[in-house]
Structure formats: structure tokens, C-alpha cells
Amino acid sequence: MNPHATRDDLMRLLEDLGIEHETHEHEPVFTVEEGNGVWDDIPARHCKNLFLKDAKKQLWLVTCPSDRDIDLKTLPGKIGSKRLSFGKPDLLLEVLGVTPGSVTPFSLMNDREARVTVVLDAEMMTEPRCGYHPLDNAATTVIAPKDLRRFIAHTGHEVVEADLR
């Protein structure tokens, strides 16, 4: 039995929480560059997610617009962390239940111990609708930022909203 939530589990949870959403199927994408080729017809701000670990072993999920350049040297000062590096794929699978290319704030439903601190880009949170992978990279699920906040609150995670420009 898979200990991690599936896309169907996510859709049921969104329904149970009363979160309006729409999911758009597309070719699997592993990078922002690949995503730029399939997102054109999806009416939303497209977002990327970085799974990071700091020098004190704290885990972070940074969610921001896909076109935002993130400098790992200056990011700690913006979010209150120590020196950051990318989390290893095995740690990503263990904690968030997804593989590289499928990182998403929706994967927080797999982090039942709330080991990850979530960082949301302040500008992204002013958009009317944002798109994230629904636990796999072969689709994009669009929701409103206010509903993303509700979803994350439901998972019990700490959230930092920061200007990541």
C-alpha cells in the first residue's frame, strides 16, 4: 500500500474543504522551461516549488511564480532561515511523498508531522488564481490563493509570506 496521498486523495480533500479547483491535464513537465510550453492555455499564474533544507536541518517548501529567480544565498535573510540547499530526492519522497518535478504545496498533505515550513511569495498570493501540480507533473490544478491558505492551514503547517523579489 502506498503511504502517500494520490491525486484522487487530493481531489477528495479539496472537495471536502469546499475549495473550488480545476485540473488541466498535460504532458509531464519536469522544469519551468518545459512547463512554459504547456501552460499557455491554463488561465492562472504558474508557480514553481523548491524543496530546501537549511544548515540546521529545517525543511522548507518555497512556492513562488514560475518566473521568479530565487537566489539561495539571499533567500535565508528573506525567510528567516540558515544557509539553504536543495533537499535530496529521497528526503523529498519521504517527507512530501513526491518526486523531483512534482513538488507542490498540495504535497503538504503527506507531511503529517509538519516537518516543512512553507514560504509563499507575497506577490503570488495577490493573484486571482494560481496553478500547482496535483501531486504529479502531468497536470496543473488551479485554485485561488485564499484557498491555498485554507488548504495549508488544514495540513497544520507553519506559513511565512515573504517578498521573494
Q: How confident is the model at residue 120 (pLDDT cuts 50, 70, 90)?
A: very high
- Judge whether residue 108 has pLDDT over 70: yes
Domain assignment of residue 95, given as a range:
7-162
Written as nine digits, the cell of 28 is 509531464
Residue 51 in domain: yes
**Alpha carbon of residue 28 to chain centroid:** 16
CA angle 45–50–55, rounded 5-degree value: 150
Which segments of the chain does DSSP mark as H helices, in order? 7-16, 32-36, 75-79, 89-96, 145-155
Count of structural domains, the chain: 1
Q: How far apart are CA 2 and CA 93, in angstroms?
A: 12
pTM of the model: 0.95
Q: How confident is the model at residue 40 (pLDDT cuts 50, 70, 90)?
A: confident
- The reported pLDDT for the residue numbered 38 is 85
DSSP state of 124: G
The upper half-sphere exposure of residue 12, i.e. CA atoms within 13 Å in the direction of its Cβ, equals 6
Residue 2 in domain: no
Query: Which domain CATH number covers 29?
Result: 3.90.960.10
Residue 65 in domain: yes
